[in-house]
Chains A and B, each alone.
Chain A
Amino acid sequence: MKASEPSEQCKEVFAALSEYLDLELSPASCEELEAHLKGCPPCIEFVESLRKSIDLCRGYSPTESPQPLSDNARHELQEAYLRMLQARENP
């Protein structure tokens, strides 16, 4: 059995969801989108799942860290920094 298609309005809402969640929609478009959401439980459910997924991305904490910086690498960086300071003082 073929799944029933989402309405055109659902598709429009779907395309604008990131802007909606980032508060970047114009007040008129925002009002229109919220009016649709009020009568469309599947869209509400979808928005919530997207919101949680974005929250996960924003709260992402890496599971890997770089190796500790070697003395040589640190020295190289410090030299570059000091050269920059010197060049600025004696252009």
Chain B
Amino acid sequence: MDRQLEVELARRLLAGEAQAFDRFVEHFRAKIFHYSWLMCGQREDAEEVAQETLMKTFENFRQLQDPERVRPWLFRIAKNVCLTKRRRSIFAPTPAQELSLDALMPSRDSRAGSLKIEIADWSHLPEDLVLKTEMMNELQAAIRTLPEIYRSVILLRDMEQLSTTETAHILDVSDDVVKTRLHRARLAIRKHLDGRLRNSVKEMAL
């Protein structure tokens, strides 16, 4: 569902059209579940976060001044619910861990005079691989290994396709911090997938 449809559903709910209720709940419940599942690590927690977020959403729905902002508004609630839940669980937030840009740069080929870098051959990655479960599982694994300050940014910016400013508002950081974290998160994911691609090439060669 694109953002315009979400806005339309929010508008209808605010206007008292109860028919929009089930569609709104089903759609955002799945979205919040996926976000918290990758943030919290536990299915049960993610289901509870989704329910609690929707409860708070409806309790405070009148405060949503602009239905255009329904997605970032809801994710801000979800982020807070998720954080409260994680503070009480074994997946408690850990001290911020920084990713270094240098460590994410690919190495150069060690042969003298070579200009090549040591990365997998991505040119053969078929476009429809996006749909393959194996690749999605790999991507999920890559996201889970990210330190959480990077994980939340990539989930909101690239998966939920929220803007830099919306993400900054949800996470209570500046736009520049979002940009820096997004870049490093993307590089780390690229590096993780690169390693997997290289291993699969090796496996195929055996």
Q: Which A residues contact B (CB, under 8 angstroms)?
A: 1-6, 11, 14-15, 17-19, 24, 40-42, 45-46, 48-50, 52-67, 69, 73-74, 76-78, 80-85, 87-88
Contacts and interface: CB of A to CB of B under 8 A. Distances in A.
B158 A58 contact: yes
A54 B13 contact: no
B189 A53 contact: yes
Interface residues of B, number: 65
B59 A84 contact: yes
Given A48-B122, A69-B26, A74-B25, A2 B110 contact: yes
B140 A63 contact: yes
Task: Please report whether the interface of chain A is mostly helix, strand, loop or mixed according to DSSP.
Answer: helix
Contacts of A56: 129-130, 135, 139, 193
A23 to B, nearest CB: 12
A67 B112 CA distance: 57
A66 B25 contact: no
B159 interface: yes
A60 to B, nearest CB: 5
Interface in B3-52: 13, 16, 18, 21, 25-26, 29-30, 33-34, 37, 43, 46-47, 50-51
